[in-house]
């Protein structure tokens, strides 16, 4: 699978830069990148039982919504022992989102690193000519 993000050198944690043509693509690409970093597909991944989770978030601003979204995915992933691989947004604006996340049991993946949280530290989330750009640091 082609990477939709780039790793940026960071001393202790993991920092990535992600682009998207719109907010849905930005949120999706960042979520995919996060789970790509956490785990890699194995032969078992193709035959896993897919689980669907409904997620609703509300926030005071776009940055808060973005971080809350990623941390909710990490929390669900840990609690339900799944690795997410697909996201479908029913609604997304600067303050609210309704989405579905699809994942498989962690047993279908080789776990590479545990990401504890997406952080506000040096968060850069901005509109650019080609859409949106984010740089986010994950606490590992």
Q: Tokens representing 138? A: 């994950």
CATH class for the region spanning 5-139: alpha beta
pTM > 0.75: yes
Nearest of 32, 27, 38 to residue 4 by alpha carbon: 32
Nearest of 62, 72, 83 to residue 134 by alpha carbon: 62
Which residues, 6 or more positions from 11, have their beta carbon under 8 angstroms from its beta carbon? Answer: none
Q: What is the pLDDT along the chain (140 residues), one digit of tens a residue?
A: 567 898 887 678 999 999 999 999 999 999 999 999 999 988 766 678 999 999 999 999 999 999 999 999 999 999 999 999 999 999 999 999 999 999 999 988 999 999 999 999 999 999 999 999 999 999 99
Q: Judge contact between 140 and 115, C-beta under 8 A.
A: yes
């Amino acid at each position: 699978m082609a990477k939709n993000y780039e790793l940026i050198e960071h001393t202790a944690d993991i920092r990535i830069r992600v682009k998207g043509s719109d907010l849905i693509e930005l949120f999706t690409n960042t979520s995919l990148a996060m789970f790509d970093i956490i785990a890699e597909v194995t032969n078992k991944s193709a035959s896993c039982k897919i689980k669907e989770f409904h997620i609703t978030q509300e926030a005071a601003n776009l940055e808060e919504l973005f971080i809350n979204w990623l941390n909710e995915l990490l929390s669900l992933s840990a609690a339900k022992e799944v690795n997410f691989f697909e996201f479908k947004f029913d609604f997304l604006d600067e303050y609210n989102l309704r989405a579905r996340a699809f994942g498989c049991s962690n047993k279908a993946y080789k776990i590479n690193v545990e990401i504890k949280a997406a952080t506000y530290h040096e968060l850069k989330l901005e509109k650019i000519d080609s859409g949106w750009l984010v740089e986010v640091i994950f606490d590992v």
